[in-house]
Amino acid sequence: MTTPVPPRAEQRETTREHHGDVVVDPYEWLRDKEDPAVLAHLGAENDYAEAVTADLQPLREAIFEEIRSRTQETDLSVPVASGPWWYYSRSFEGSQYSVECRAPRVEGAPRPMPEPGSEVEGEQVLLDSNAEAEGHDFFALGALTVSPDHHRLAYAVDTEGDERFALRVKDLRTDKIIDTAVDEVGYGCVFSLDGQYLFYTRVDETWRPHQVWRHEVGTSATDDVIVHEEDDERFWMGVGSSRDDRWLMIGLGSKTTSEVRILDAADPTGEFRVVAPRREGVEYDVEPAGDRLLIVHNADSIDSDLAWAPIDATSADQWQPLLRAEAGERFQGIDAFDEVAVLSLRKDGLTALRVLARDPGQPSGFAGRHDLEFDEPVYAVGLGDNPESATTTLQVVFESMVTPKTVYDYDVVSREFRLLKRQPVLGGYDPTQYEQRREWATAADGTRVPMSLVYPAGAEPDGTHPGLLTAYGSYEISSDPYFSVARLSLLERGFVYAIAHVRGGGELGRAWYDQGKLASKKNTFTDFVSSADHLVESGWVATDRLVAEGGSAGGLLIGAAINLAPTRFRAVHAAVPFVDALTTILDPSLPLTVVEWEEWGNPLADPGVYAYMKSYSPYENVHQAAYPAVLATTSLNDTRVFFTEPAKWVARVRENTTSGPAERPVLLRTEMVAGHGGKSGRYDSWRQVAWEWAFLVDQVGAASKDSRN
């Protein structure tokens, strides 16, 4: 049998010079997706990846079938009450996408909880994404919202993967599309109170949402009006409304500073009012709550406080303290209802919910509080869909690494939970067959790094198990424990699955994030390597059976980690990886560059930042070493991390690795019609996961379920 020969990218020298440092880059030409030579190279890489892994097709098919067979393909979500309707989503066996529905709400009648596939009396289909996606290889929604009077539906469609959407409005009384005037919009949209106007965002050439527009439904887009234009290139924006639909809201934010503007939804042509002018380094979120505003802000505390202000507030001087974060807590957001408010926070490294009772006799309007309690060692909890403010029963969503996603009604008066739905897992799933735990690795500087582990019940740290380690570690995004049907295919093959909660994420509060950004970014990478070392040294994973996976900024983490410790990992998967970080952050014309300077620093202006980024950027630091097997996956239409980055990185790793291509291949796989999130349909997504995990599983000799050791 002929051994496949890896593609060899042509070397065309491109010179980059900054701060007296001259860099010759032989692969920078792999940038223009319209260039036939670039497309030919990506095609050759895809062919090579398929050829090298051809013998894994049975394993890929097995993993796909395991995912499919455990999934209840015909299902529906928990119906949610809003006005005169119950709203819910359906899925059907064989269909890639969901179907959005509603049914009449009868006063005094209980919530409809039909069996999957059965009919609901009076059901109306709002949007069938399968019909919308017909004829397209990719489909995604960027907005889906119903007008306050429940007569109109606005939704935004992307069929390329470039996250630029076409806006559509449907009259739900006639089931007819009544507006297709607006294209090329960003995420999100919101109706005015009367449903006559629609507010949406537009993105600039760097894919930054920089404008909010007002569109009168049924008119030409040429008549649309700019409501706000953001000239500070560090700031993003989004649009929304209050829970009671009384207020339209524009949220603006950089990585360190924010500002909120609100407008009476009954006066859509009026001027938005600034709640508090932006102050450098101060972030705040606003929740209208009747006659006042509730505000989570970091003006006085790194981990944020809760304040209140009059509904007509225009300055932070009007904020009055309501609740301060205690040690080990990080306030993240507030949701207001008629009888309570619910604070979302992090507490001791996990997510938490705190209920604040309303008390009109208090100046703040609140008195008394309690936290929701759960008895698992690692988990994630948050509010579900609660569109109505006049309720004392809240939808709460809970999951862990062994408990499937579970939706409860929580009675804030009796403090009792009522189970509404637990994600079905077919095939006799038994959570007692798996165990989860919290482990702590010790970083190079002595910092303790938390890890969440799940593994087959009864497994002992005897140094024999295969393991997969993953992390993210940027933007204060937390990698919280979650349940995964797909992950069961790894656990059944004896894997120990670990999430490293490295610095740069938000798991342990704002300081945890600050210690993994800017001039402290390397902590993210060394934390990950220390977590890998801990898995091996503690016996949870065999020395030669550890694989790793990360996506986007987590792909940067993977690239940096294998430069630091190339022999620690048997194989890695870097998905849409930000591996040529310095080149990207040096070019303000590229998407997201300027808004990222507060995360990474500005290497254009600061030679110190330039030198620091150059010292860790994966592409810059590939060297002669016995690298692990590498799979890099990307999408041609990704607007966040260009395919160029993994294409260049793979070429350089392949050029420098001393490992044999037969045992430790270096592969690049590009989806030619997809975006940052990969393939869009659920079956396509499952096949993509099966392809990627088959590669990792094979590398550690765990293809068979009876070969755990």
CATH number at residue 680: 3.40.50.1820
* Residue 676 annotated as catalytic: yes
Integer Cα distance of 379 and 300 in angstroms = 29
Domain range spanning residue 691?
14-20+37-69+428-699
User: For residue 571, is it within any domain?
Assistant: yes
Integer Cα distance of 304 and 354 in angstroms = 15
Helix (H, G, I), strand (E, B) or coil at 402: coil
Q: Which of 228, 638, 659, 680 is catalytic?
A: 638
Integer Cα distance of 137 and 269 in angstroms = 39
Integer Cα distance of 516 and 500 in angstroms = 13
> What was the pLDDT predicted at 676?
66
* Residue 659 annotated as catalytic: no
Residue 461 neighbours by CB under 8 Å, 6+ apart: 538, 539, 540
> What was the pLDDT predicted at 708?
47
> What was the pLDDT predicted at 1?
61
User: For residue 299, is it within any domain?
Assistant: no
Q: What is the mean pLDDT of each run of 10 residues along the chain (709 residues)?
A: 89 96 97 94 97 97 98 96 96 95 92 87 96 93 97 96 94 97 96 98 92 98 97 96 96 97 98 98 97 97 97 98 96 97 97 96 92 97 96 97 98 96 96 98 97 98 98 97 98 98 98 98 98 98 98 97 98 97 94 90 98 98 98 89 95 97 96 72 94 98 70
> Residue 63: which H helix or E strand, with range?
helix 57-70
Backbone angles phi, psi at 433, to 5 degrees: -80, 0
> Contact, 615 vs 601, CB < 8 A?
no
User: For residue 148, is it within any domain?
Assistant: no
What does 579-613 look like in DSSP terms, one character per residue? --HHHHHT-TTSTTHHHHHHHH--TTT-HHHHHHH
pTM: 0.95
> What was the pLDDT predicted at 709?
42
Number of folded domains in the chain?
A: 1
User: For residue 371, is it within any domain?
Assistant: no
* Residue 638 annotated as catalytic: yes
Residue 436 neighbours by CB under 8 Å, 6+ apart: 376, 377, 378, 400, 401, 402, 452, 453, 454, 481
User: For residue 540, is it within any domain?
Assistant: yes
Integer Cα distance of 381 and 201 in angstroms = 30
User: For residue 90, is it within any domain?
Assistant: no
> What was the pLDDT predicted at 674?
65
Q: Which of 95, 98, 552, 659 is catalytic?
A: 552
User: For residue 60, is it within any domain?
Assistant: yes
> Contact, 600 vs 637, CB < 8 A?
no
User: For residue 607, is it within any domain?
Assistant: yes
